[in-house]
Structure formats: structure tokens, C-alpha cells
Amino acid sequence: MSQPNPTPERLAELRLAGSVDVKPEKALIFEMSRAGREAFSLPPCDVPEDEELAELLPNGRLRRNSASLPEVYEVDVVRHYTELSRRNFGVDNGFYPLGSCTMKYNPKINEDAAKLPGFARIHPYQPEESIQGALELLHTLQDDLAALTGMDFVTLQPAAGAHGEWTGLMMIRAYHESRGEARSKVIVPDSSHGTNPASATTAGLETVTVKSGPDGLVDLDALRAAVGADTAALMLTNPSTLGLFEEQIVEIAEIVHEAGGLLYYDGANSNAIMGIARPGDMGFDVVHLNLHKTMSTPHGGGGPGAGPVGVKAHLVPFLPKPVVAKRTDGSYYFDFDRPQSIGRVKSYYGNFSILVRAYTYIRSYGPEGLRRVSECAVLNANYMMARLAEAFEIPYPGVCKHEFVLSGRGLKAYGVRTLDVAKRLLDFGYHPPTIYFPLNVEECIMIEPTETESKETLDGFIDAMLRIAREARETPELVINAPYTTVLRRLDETLAARKPVLNCSC
């Protein structure tokens, strides 16, 4: 990397001419193995070794062939994973406006907090007396999240958003069953996250999809037609995946409640409304939050997350057990005595170190700071939408919340698709927005800037988008063949699925 980086234009020329190989293929760790190398350091065996392994593990229990793990030394390991990290793009590398994923800055103090030995090196089966600090943190976080969402109680057990959805739906099912009602249908709008219908299925419920109206919002007539004596719940993301607030949410809640159903709030988009409006006040009975979105905990390349679930009082008996409770003497404990609980949904007490990070985040802002977070997230999104309207179709004009959608269909005339726009953005150092979701917008581009990005960053991204739109008209092949600056060019996904190679057989 000693020579200066060529400009994207120069690279494009070189790539089109087939004369540049930016980086060679990266070896697998298995391919780096050389017999006899070691990277480990183990304590000595200071106990008797008088017994044969085959005696201790008889009848075919002892492994015949050692697992063939690589033989490398420590520097190999360090360089391998360092190189892999350089082939990856995170929020710390640059702007990541991935709609509905809330890729905000992940504060470093959160990481430091989670690493404190008193949090990182504690065991869930220690005597409760010896983890009172951890239990206090969990109890406070339960209360803080209940206040934020306007719910009566929060469980911190679910490991992710989808896990929270399933947990919430299991509680809704148990609630209806406790009242002797057989309600099996979950209503979701066509713009909902795929996890909503999938969670309904795993909770033993059927999905009914209702079409959105022309304004992108829930069509009340369609909803009225869909609800009935079999309605278990309506699942709603508000603001929706289109970035629109369901203005008729109070009427929606009435329609569902009058039919005897409950309202489930998918909290994926909570970053728009903290301190401004609360799901509990909108009429929702159950809500999950994605702490790895709204509460800044890192996504880890796909996980771990945490998906706490808040409920109104009538659902409290059904919460998964245990919950963290406080005694009158001020001490904390795990409450297992919950006869109507849906049972356990996750080992131990949830993704604790993620919960530590979320608590740290909340304390970094306080309630007024969190409100400012949402204001800035919404301001940033509206600003981007206003500027991008110059070159892209805005299917739902007006104000948006923390995210908005564009349609790239105007570029199809030049043979350029939304996928091509996304790939071209890579050359300018941006992570592309979410694309082709929600499904009800053609050539959809879904942008969520978050509050932690500056006006200069937003302007830089907008300028790149405007430039790509211009390129699409003037030199479409430049866009269609992008990217040029990445370690690999576009990958053959069809080949991967048709002839699956899912592990290294070395």
C-alpha cells in the first residue's frame, strides 16, 4: 500500500482494461497451516496422568482422528484476522445509511463497560448475593425501557428483535388462551419486516397480510375487513419501514381492540420517536426494542443483539421467566414464581453484556438527550430526502421520520438498476442503503442516516448519489460495472446457491 491510491475514475479505467488486480485472494486460515507450528500457550498438567485416555473414555467415546485444525503461529493468527478486518466495513469506517438498521455510532465507553471483570466474568448461577450490582443494572434498565416505551413491565431475555417478536406473540397467544379465546390470526401490513410473519408462524399463528393504502399507510378499510373474532394481534412498525408515521394509529388501535385483538409494536424504528411519542400511549399492548439499533450496541457483523419486550399490565403474568425483581429491603432477585409465564425463551438472563452497553448509552444521554437523538435523526433524514428529490423519485412526499425511501425506477430507462447504484456507492467509500425493501416500492432505496452523522457527511453522500444519477444517464456502463475499488468485484450469488460450497474441505 505504499503507492498512492488511484482515483475511482483511474481504477475504473484500469479495471475496464483488465489490467489491475487490487488485492490478491485471501488465503483461508486452513490454507496457512504448516505442520509443527503452534500459537497456543497452555498451563502444564500438574495432576497425575496415570490413566489411559481410552480407559477414561471407553466404548468408542474417545476420538479416533483429531479434528484437523490449522497449525499456525501467533503472528499468522494476528495478521490473518487483521487482514480480514481490513476487508470489512463498519460504522467506524464510514457512513452506513442502511435503512431500518439504525447504524449509528457505537460509543467506545459502552465497550469498556461491558469488559469490566465484574460484568464480563460473572456466572449466572453465582449466589444472587454476589451479583447484586448486575441485578441492579438489569432492574434499572427494565424500568428505563418501560418508561421510554410507555409500558408497565419489560423482560430483557430475548436475544434479538425477531426473538422478541416471537416472545411477544407467545405472550399474546397465552393471554387469549387464558381468556378461553381461540384467536389464530396475526395481521401485518405488506411493508412489514419479514421477521413479523415468520415469528407468527413459529408462535403457531397464521399471518394475514393487508395492503397499504396509496399514501403508504395502513388502509383502515382493509384493516376493518381483516379483523374479526379470530384476530390475535396486529403487528405494526411505527414509523413504518417507509419512514412514515401512522397518523391514524389511534383509530387503528381502536379497530383492533374492538375486535378483541392486541397491538404489537415492532420497535425497529424507535430511533424516530424517543421522548416524542410512546407506543404505550398509542395503544400498543406489546413492544420490542432492538437495542442493537436504537440503543447503539454494535451489530457485530450480524449479532449479537438484544430484543427486550415491554408489555402492558394485562400481559405481565405471561412474561418469560425469570424476571428481575426488587425486595422491600432493596435487594434484587430473579423471580421464578410466575405460574402463567410462557416459560423460558433464552438461556440464563439474555444477552447481558449487550444490556450493559445499552444501559451505558442511556446514561450517556438521559431522557432529554434521547429526545434530541430522535430529533436529529429525523432532521437528518428529511434533509437528505429534500436534497435527493432533485434526482430520484420520492414515492411518499411530505415529512418522513428517521428514514425514507426513494425509487430508482427512473434510471431503468438507461439500463441502470438500484443494485447498480448501490454498487457504485462502494467506490465512493459509503455503505449503500437498504435496497429492494420494502417490497411495495419499485427499485426501492431505503435511507436511514441516524443522528450521529454530520451535515458534511450527509452532503458528501448526497453529492455521490446525484453524481451516480448523472453517470447513469451519461455513462451507464460505468455504473453497471461498479464497483472498482473493492477487494473483489461483484460476486456470483447464483453460483453460490446452485452449487453450494459451505465449508473448506481442506
Partner 1 sequence: MTSPHRYIPMTEQDQAEMLETIGVSSVEELFRDIPASIRYSGTLPMSGALDEWSLMRHLKQLAGRNADADTAVSFLGAGLYDHHIPAVLPHLAGRSEFYTAYTPYQPEISQGELQAIFEFQSYICELTGMAVANASMYDGATALAEAAALASAHTRRKRVVVSRAVHPEAREIVRTTARGLGLDVVEVGLRDGLTDPQALAAAVDESTAAVLVQSPSFLGTVEDLAALGTLAHESGALFVVSANPLSLGLLEAPGALGADIVVGDAQPLGIPSSLGGPTCGYFAVAEPLMRRMPGRIVGQTVDRDGKRGFVLTLQAREQHIRREKATSNICSNQALLALCASIYLSVMGKTGFRKTAELNLRKARHAARTLGGLEGFSLSFADTPFFNEFVVKLPEGTDLRQLELALLEEGFLGGYDLGRSYPELAGHMLVAVTEKRTREEIEAFAAALDRLTRKEALT
Enumerate residues 45-64 that contact partner 1 by CB under 8 A. 45-49, 51, 53, 56-64
Report whether 96 contacts 90 (CB < 8 A): yes
Exposure on the CB side of residue 106, measured as CA atoms within 13 A: 23
CA triple 173-174-177, angle to 5 deg: 85
Taking CB under 8 A as the binding criterion, the range among 229-237, 256-264, 370-378, 440-448 that sits at the site for partner 1 is 370-378
Q: Kindly identify the residues of this chain, within the stretch 429-488, that bind partner 1 according to CB under 8 A.
A: 431-432, 434, 437, 451-455, 483, 486-488
Cell 425511501 belongs to 405
Taking CB under 8 A as the binding criterion, the range among 2-10, 127-135, 254-262, 410-418 that sits at the site for partner 1 is 127-135
State the Cα–Cα distance between residues 194 and 188, nearest whole angstrom: 10
Q: How far is the CB of 238 from partner 1 (least distance, A)?
A: 10
Report whether 424 contacts 15 (CB < 8 A): no
What does the DSSP 8-state code read for residue 500? -
504 binds partner 1 (CB under 8 A): yes
5 binds partner 1 (CB under 8 A): no
Residue with smaller CB distance to partner 1, 37 or 413: 37
CA dihedral 285, 291, 292, 294 (to 10 degrees): 80
Residue with smaller CB distance to partner 1, 383 or 473: 383
Taking CB under 8 A as the binding criterion, the range among 228-236, 258-266, 372-380, 405-413 that sits at the site for partner 1 is 372-380
308 binds partner 1 (CB under 8 A): no
Among 133, 254, 314, 477, binds partner 1 (CB under 8 A): 133
103 binds partner 1 (CB under 8 A): yes
275 binds partner 1 (CB under 8 A): yes
284 binds partner 1 (CB under 8 A): no
CA dihedral 48, 49, 52, 58 (to 10 degrees): 60
Q: What are phi and psi of 119, to 5 degrees?
A: -110, -40
Nearest CA-CA partner of 385 in 372, 400, 374, 368:
400
97 binds partner 1 (CB under 8 A): no
Q: How far is the CB of 302 from partner 1 (least distance, A)?
A: 3
Residues 6+ apart with CB under 8 A from 69: none
Taking CB under 8 A as the binding criterion, the range among 219-227, 367-375, 403-411, 471-479 that sits at the site for partner 1 is 367-375
Q: Kindly identify the residues of this chain, within the stretch 193-232, that bind partner 1 according to CB under 8 A.
A: 193-195, 197-204, 206-207
